[in-house]
């Protein structure tokens, strides 16, 4: 996997993944994560996650709606978490390969472009 800047990632489109490809290496994931603010590795390097604290429950829900629209357009769907009414987290991984692919970093960069108001 080539390491891309966030500006490059947001102009890319997630590619369908039905398995049969290797997840990116831990080194590749770390190098790509270094370009994305606030995202970190979880599940022994098989997923990435970012956490936000929003103003209230409805701001979190509106943010999730915006994330859902981007995810649906790219055909790559994150795990969304809302806890204690204002703690928002998003976890990305490519389910079909049980680890990270370029798609996860593309979607992370696009999510980072969303306003959180």
Domain extents for the chain?
25-112
For 11-42, how does the pLDDT look when each residue is reduced to its tens digit (9 = 90+)?
999 887 777 788 999 999 999 999 999 999 99
- Tokens representing 78 are 């994150």
For 58-100, how does the pLDDT look when each residue is reduced to its tens digit (9 = 90+)?
999 999 999 999 999 999 999 999 999 999 999 999 998 999 9
Cα separation, 72 vs 90, in Å, equals 15
Cα separation, 87 vs 116, in Å, equals 13
Q: How far is CA 45 from the centre of its chain?
A: 14
> Residue 61 contacts by C-beta under 8 Å, 6 or more apart in sequence?
82
Q: Which CATH class is domain 25-112?
A: alpha beta
Cα separation, 2 vs 54, in Å, equals 33
Unique residue bearing structure tokens 């306003």: 115
pTM of the complete model: 0.94
- The pLDDT of residue 17 is 77
- Alpha carbon distance, N-terminus to C-terminus of the chain: 33
């Amino acid at each position: 996997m080539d390491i891309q800047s966030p500006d490059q990632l947001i102009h890319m489109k997630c590619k369908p993944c039905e398995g049969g490809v290797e997840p990116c290496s831990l080194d590749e994931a770390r190098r790509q994560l270094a370009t994305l603010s606030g995202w970190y590795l979880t599940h022994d390097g098989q997923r990435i996650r970012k956490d936000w604290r929003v103003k209230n429950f409805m701001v979190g829900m509106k943010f999730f709606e915006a994330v859902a629209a981007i995810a649906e357009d790219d055909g790559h769907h994150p795990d969304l978490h809302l806890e204690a009414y204002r703690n928002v987290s998003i976890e990305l991984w490519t389910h079909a390969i049980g680890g990270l692919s370029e798609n996860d970093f593309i979607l992370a960069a696009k999510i980072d472009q969303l306003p959180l108001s």
